[in-house]
């Protein structure tokens, strides 16, 4: 069976050796030495000044919206994982959808200003499949209208834009370290802010608001990562170069074998060092996708419909029609991509696709 992804796991002995440090101290949570070490190593690896790692990738979105959303309208993309929209609604804000660019698949920056009202407080945009939004244009719009910018960078671990970490853009960026991601801690995530005061707010917000054991800076929740999760991250981080190179090799092979006269894939934004996190293909229509998906499933190959449905169509989102997002969402399929996927398996996948598209 070939699934859309397979979690990369380090040698068990290496994970256990790191985990023993927590066992020896009998310190399993509340920002132990493994969490602190992982934060320090991630700052160096990602070339960022600030990072707070968390117990999952949704909590950073919720904290960012709690701090910057102020219960207002949040301009966002309909083409993302449901967590993006769900976090907006969960934090008592209102999602206002803006359609996407048909090639980059990120929010169409040329349509943002039309959606701004007196109730708009922030823009929450997703770097789709690790592909950066138009960062410069969004920054100009945000400054002009005095809006905050949050980037859902769940897929963007290690992505560089114009020689800078993708996490250095916007007021707050968030990332996911879920087991399906390029870098993972089983479950986990991170949040980033360049402004020191905002970074301080992020910190105490993920730790019950604490200012020491007996005092409080303000309101907070429990978003702390455990030592068990941090041990996984510390054991995987040394393999990141291998992971990225292997995935690039697989994507290069897909690019050679697929018939792009019949379908297309993601266009990566200029000046981007991409992370090879996903491999989406876009068919002509949903029926063609379903035909291909069925043919793959018959061979025990299971791609994934990221992202379907378009989030504006979800009942609680109450969104307007988004024709480009809805069309793309109905016709896009992410193909298997993980360390260990063989050339013969890729050839099998590509052969089935090429035979079943018109």
Instruction: Render 293-306 in DSSP notation, one character per residue.
Output: HHHHHHTTEE-B-T
Predicted local distance difference test score (pLDDT) of residue 211: 93
CA distances from 196 to 50, 192, 201 (A): 8, 10, 9
Do the Cβ atoms of 329 and 309 come closer than 8 Å? Answer: yes
Answer yes or no: do 282 and 200 share one domain.
Answer: no
127: Cβ contacts below 8 Å, ≥ 6 apart:
106, 133, 151, 152, 153, 155, 156, 159, 166
Q: Whole domain around residue 11: which residue ranges?
A: 3-238
38-42-44 Cα angle (round to 5)? 125
* pLDDT 10s digits, 170-216: 999 999 999 999 999 999 999 999 999 999 999 999 999 999 999 99
Q: 278 and 129 share a domain? A: no
Q: How far is CA 149 from CA 75, 76, 216, in A?
A: 10, 10, 27
Neighbours of 40 (CB within 10 A): 11
Residues 45 and 82 in one domain: yes
CA–CA gap between residue 42 and residue 140 (Å, rounded): 29
Q: What is the pLDDT of residue 260?
A: 96
Final residue before a domain boundary, out of 198, 216, 238: 238
27 with 169, same domain: the answer is: yes
Task: Based on the fold, state whether residues 164 and 249 are members of the same structural domain.
Answer: no
Count of beta carbons in the 10 Å neighbourhood of residue 158: 23
Examine the domain organization and report whether 63 and 200 are in the same domain. Answer: yes
* Contact present, 18 and 235 (Cβ < 8 Å): yes
Pull the structure tokens for residue 179.
């087991």
User: Locate tokens 């370290």: which residue?
Assistant: 177
Number of domains making up the chain: 2
Supply the CATH number for residue 155's domain. Answer: 3.40.640.10
pLDDT of residue 175: 98
Distance CA 23, CA 243 (A): 29
> Is residue 28 scored above 90 in pLDDT?
yes
Give the three-state DSSP class for 1.
coil
Query: Which tokens belong to 270?
Result: 């200029």
Assigned token pair, 302: 């299971």
Both ends of the chain: CA-CA distance in Å? 26
Chain segment 258-268, per-residue pLDDT in tens: 999 999 999 99
Last residue in a domain, options 203, 238, 273:
238
Question: What is this structure's pTM?
Answer: 0.97
Question: What is the model's pLDDT at position 358?
Answer: 85
pLDDT, one tens digit per residue, over 303-338 is 999 999 999 999 999 999 999 999 999 999 999 999
- Based on the fold, state whether residues 188 and 330 are members of the same structural domain: no
Question: How far apart are the C-alpha atoms of 29 and 347, rounded to whole Å?
Answer: 45
Residue finishing a domain among 238, 255, 290? 238
Residues 188, 208 within the same domain? yes
Radius of gyration of the chain (CA): 21
Residues 214, 292, single domain; the answer is no
Residues 230 and 243 in one domain: no
Q: Are residues 176 and 40 in the same domain?
A: yes
CATH assignment of the domain containing 302: 3.90.1150.10
Rounded CA separation 336/249 (Å)? 13
The verdict on 205 and 333 lying in the same domain is no
């Amino acid at each position: 069976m070939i699934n859309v992804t397979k979690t990369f796991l380090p040698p068990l002995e290496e994970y256990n050796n790191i985990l023993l440090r927590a066992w020896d101290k009998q310190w399993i949570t509340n920002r132990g030495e493994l969490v602190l070490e992982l934060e320090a190593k991630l700052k160096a690896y990602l070339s960022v000044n600030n990072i707070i790692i968390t117990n999952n990738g949704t909590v950073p979105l919720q904290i960012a919206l709690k701090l910057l959303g102020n219960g207002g309208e949040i301009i966002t993309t309909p083409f993302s994982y449901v967590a993006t929209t769900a976090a907006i609604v969960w934090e008592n804000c209102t999602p206002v959808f803006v359609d996407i660019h048909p090639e980059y698949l990120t929010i169409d920056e040329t349509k943002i200003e039309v959606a701004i009202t007196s109730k708009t407080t922030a823009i929450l945009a997703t770097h789709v499949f690790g592909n950066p939004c138009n960062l410069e244009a969004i920054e100009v719009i945000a400054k002009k209208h005095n809006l905050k910018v949050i980037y859902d960078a769940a897929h963007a671990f290690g992505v560089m834009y114009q020689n800078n970490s993708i996490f250095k853009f916007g007021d707050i960026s968030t990332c996911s370290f879920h087991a399906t991601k390029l870098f993972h801690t089983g479950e986990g995530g991170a949040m980033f802010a360049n402004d020191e005061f905002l970074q301080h707010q992020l910190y105490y917000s993920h730790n019950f608001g604490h200012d020491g054991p007996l005092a409080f800076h303000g309101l907070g929740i429990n978003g702390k990562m455990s030592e068990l999760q941090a041990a996984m991250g510390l054991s995987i981080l040394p393999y990141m170069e291998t992971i990225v190179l292997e995935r690039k090799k697989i994507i290069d092979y897909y690019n050679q074998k697929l018939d792009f006269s019949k379908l297309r894939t993601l266009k990566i934004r200029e000046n981007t060092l991409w992370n090879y996190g996903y491999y989406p293909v876009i068919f002509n229509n949903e029926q063609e996708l379903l035909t291909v998906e069925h043919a793959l499933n018959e061979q025990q190959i299971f791609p994934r419909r990221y992202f379907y449905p378009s989030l504006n169509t979800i009942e609680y989102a109450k969104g307007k029609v988004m024709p480009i997002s809805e069309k793309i969402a109905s016709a896009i399929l992410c193909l298997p991509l993980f360390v260990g996927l063989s050339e013969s398996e890729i050839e099998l996948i590509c052969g089935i696709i090429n035979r079943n598209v018109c």
